[in-house]
Amino acid sequence: MAVSVDPPATTRDHLAKMGWTYTFLADPEVKVVKQYDLAHPQNDGRVIARPAELLIDPTGTVRWVNLTEDYKVRVRPEQVIEAFDRVAKQNKP
């Protein structure tokens, strides 16, 4: 699922091909972004999300987190898939 203050549309097709269902969610009040401590206040008063990806297993435990150090670099779908392949094979910590 993709959470954004202002939903985009890029990675969906690639992930869909790999069998993932992609859901866009809108967080216009920046509620979830703040809940996950990813709020990035801008100079003009807007608050947007700091780009981040999390893989969560079926018990609700976070198994992989990636916070970008440079907001120009967006996550590649391959990164998420590769991380999933890695952590899904591990036993739960």
Q: Is 75 in the site for another protein (CB under 8 A)?
A: yes
Dihedral sign of CA atoms 38, 11, 24, 1 in order: negative
User: For residues 40 and 48, is the Cβ–Cβ distance under 8 A?
Assistant: yes
Taking the least distance from each CB to another protein, the nearer of 7 and 13 is 7
For residue 83, which of 54, 50, 49, 52 has the smallest C-alpha distance? 54
Binding mask 26-55 for another protein (x = CB under 8 A): xx---xxx-xxxxxxx------xxxxxxxx
Which 8-state DSSP code applies to residue 50? P
Taking the least distance from each CB to another protein, the nearer of 13 and 61 is 61
Q: Is 61 in the site for another protein (CB under 8 A)?
A: yes
**One of 13, 16, 65, 82 touching another protein (CB under 8 A):** 65
Q: Is 3 in the site for another protein (CB under 8 A)?
A: yes
For residue 39, which of 5, 70, 10 has the smallest C-alpha distance? 5
